[in-house]
Structure 1
């Protein structure tokens, strides 16, 4: 028996419907995908990017309250979110790279 997405803490009927439109129909499938792949499916299905929804999903998949994300953890999630929103999943480039270097956006890359 599959669990509905809305059985996951923080995720209600609206997120369940959005994931259904993206082709994700169960809590198990969502957990299997993980935050970034699942959110990329949402974006590909036409959902508008929204940082709070992204980090609420991350917290949900960790079993944490949606508003538990703070500080450096939240900053790192912002970088991941920006990459997903831009259609990539990794190394920032262009303006984002410059902002990282000058300290406006904390870098998540390990420096050599």
Structure 2
């Protein structure tokens, strides 16, 4: 029987520390290897689904870290492209995780209440 492959903590990824590690654990991601396999977009989507508030800097810090780059290395056209990816991820968050109750989300779907601005 092969021995299990050791796993590294999420905080072993550049730019990510203990707070990121705790947030990813809450989202069901418990190792750097698992996060690398998922990729930045799916990993961040899982953070959002677990209730983490969306924050562009947090997203691009993750992208840069998975590439082994400093967090502030994102600039120009690359940053614009990452912003578009982040906005798409944020837009796909169910209303409930945006701070709305199930009732508010249902009333919104029916057109009874005005949609909140993000």
Matched, 1:24 2:34: no
Long gaps (5+) in structure 2: 1-5, 94-118
Long gaps (5+) in structure 1: 89-112
Relative to the length of structure 2, the TM-score reads 0.74
Tell me by how many angstroms 1:4 deviates.
0.2
Counterparts of 2:66 and 2:13, CA distance in 1: 8
* Structure whose CA Rg is larger: 2
In the alignment, which of 54, 57, 60 is matched to residue 59 of structure 2?
A: 54
The two structures, once aligned, show a CA RMSD in angstroms of 0.8
In the alignment, which of 29, 38, 51 is matched to residue 33 of structure 1?
A: 38
Tell me by how many angstroms 1:65 deviates.
0.1
Tell me by how many angstroms 1:83 deviates.
0.2
Tell me by how many angstroms 1:19 deviates.
0.1
Tell me by how many angstroms 1:59 deviates.
0.1
Counterparts of 1:37 and 1:17, CA distance in 2: 17
